[in-house]
Amino acid sequence: MTASPTITAAVIPAGQAVTPFIPLAPKTLVGLQIPNGWTAANISLQASYDGGTTLVEFGNAAGLFAITVPGTTGEFIGLDPNIFRGVTGIVIRSGTAASPVNQVSQATIQVISTPLL
């Protein structure tokens, strides 16, 4: 049986590049739905292991983690939930820490999470 996903709207306001903190615990991140009207930019994440008190750039053994978002929008990006074990919440960034990309219009990203099985 598959657990029902939780869908959380994460908003990047017009003229900005990051969402507020998005709590995930006790679930894990499995996907992002990128909205139509997305200003072309890859996505990077900050992660917290302590409920948002501490935020750090999210990476893995290969380096910092960035999601490549094609020029077209309205796309679902599936993510491996195992790499998000222990992450209690995230901040989504348009662009990277070194080169954030402000969204021209408000961008509402749908954050999909499910229980770890």
* The pLDDT value given to residue 51: 93
- Of 73, 52, 66, nearest to 94 by C-alpha is 66
Spans of all domains in the chain: 11-106
What is the C-alpha to C-alpha distance for residues 47 and 78, in angstroms, rounded to an integer? 17
Share of the chain above pLDDT 90, in %: 66
Radius of gyration of the chain (CA): 13
The pTM for the full model equals: 0.90
What is the C-alpha to C-alpha distance for residues 81 and 40, in angstroms, rounded to an integer? 25
* The pLDDT value given to residue 61: 67
Which pLDDT tens digit goes with each residue over 66-103?
A: 777 665 578 898 988 988 989 999 999 999 889 999 99
Which pLDDT tens digit goes with each residue over 30-73?
A: 999 999 999 999 899 999 999 999 999 998 767 667 777 665 57
Which pLDDT tens digit goes with each residue over 12-28?
A: 999 999 999 999 999 99
End-to-end C-alpha distance for the chain, whole angstroms: 10
pLDDT reading at 1 higher than 60:
no
Contact 92, 10 (CB under 8 A): yes
Coil, strand or helix: which one is 25? Answer: coil
AA letter at 111 = V
